[in-house]
């Protein structure tokens, strides 16, 4: 074998190792996105399970606030459907509705001193608020993982491997501006 043949095979082997390295990085990034989604999914499920308990506790005190409670449950069901289908656009919109509904519920609860003093209500309110914070943190991690994935599969030379092996872009979990703003509690009491 001559020198040109040896150089040719060395280059082919190095390119093969490079392609495998790119592939392994893309796989790791893809699984990081899946892991980040799983973390959000667990928290959404936990919150999904807590909301009926909160609504049931509130029903005992809030006889005239049926519409507020129904809105929370409808939003909960929309979040659940979007979560199960992993539709990030619908999930973002449903999350905004649920967040607003919970904000309204907690604001209306201010008018019911017995409810505010109820230990179960306080526990559930604290639990749901903690889950909301955790979801926000996990959403940030998820979006960062998706961003890394989407950039890598569009960069050269990764794009070659990504297209050959069907690595796809993922959607960010984005909430609309009006869905993430704080609820105006004073306005709720004036309605």
What pLDDT, in 10s, does the model give residues 13-68? 999 999 999 999 999 999 999 999 999 889 888 988 888 888 888 877 776 677 78
The token pair that represents 156 in the structure block: 């050269």
Q: Tell me, what's the pLDDT at 52?
A: 86
The token pair that represents 79 in the structure block: 């979040």
CATH architecture, domain defined by 3-190: Up-down Bundle (1.20)
Q: Is the pTM of this model over 0.85?
A: no
pLDDT at 100 over 50: yes
Tokens 């050269």 correspond to: 156
pLDDT grade for 190, boundaries at 50, 70 and 90: very low
CB 92 within 8 A of CB 21: no
The token pair that represents 94 in the structure block: 């449903």
Q: Tell me, what's the pLDDT at 176?
A: 62
Q: Tell me, what's the pLDDT at 64?
A: 61
Tokens 């495998």 correspond to: 20
Tokens 């190095």 correspond to: 14
Q: Tell me, what's the pLDDT at 14?
A: 94
pLDDT at 116 over 80: no
Per-residue pLDDT averaged across 77-94, rounded? 86
How high does pLDDT run on average in the chain?
Answer: 84
Distances (CA, A) of 105 to 31, 115, 121: 37, 11, 11
């Amino acid at each position: 074998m001559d020198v040109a043949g040896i150089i040719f095979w060395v280059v082919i082997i190095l390119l093969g190792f490079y392609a495998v390295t790119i592939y392994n990085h893309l796989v790791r990034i893809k699984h990081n996105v899946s892991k980040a989604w799983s973390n959000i999914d667990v928290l959404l499920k936990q919150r999904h399970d807590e909301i009926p308990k909160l609504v049931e506790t509130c029903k005992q005190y809030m006889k005239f606030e049926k519409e507020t409670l129904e809105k929370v449950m409808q939003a909960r069901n929309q979040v659940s459907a979007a979560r199960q289908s992993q539709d990030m656009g619908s999930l973002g919109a449903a999350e905004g509705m649920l967040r607003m509904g919970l904000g309204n519920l907690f604001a209306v609860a201010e008018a019911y001193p017995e409810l505010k003093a109820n230990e179960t209500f306080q526990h559930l309110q604290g639990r749901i608020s903690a889950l909301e914070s955790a979801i926000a943190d996990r959403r940030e991690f998820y979006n960062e993982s998706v961003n890394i994935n989407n950039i890598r599969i569009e960069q050269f030379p990764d794009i070659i491997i990504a297209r050959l092996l069907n690595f796809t872009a993922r959607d960010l979990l984005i909430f609309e501006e009006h869905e993430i703003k704080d609820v105006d509690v004073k306005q709720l009491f004036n309605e």
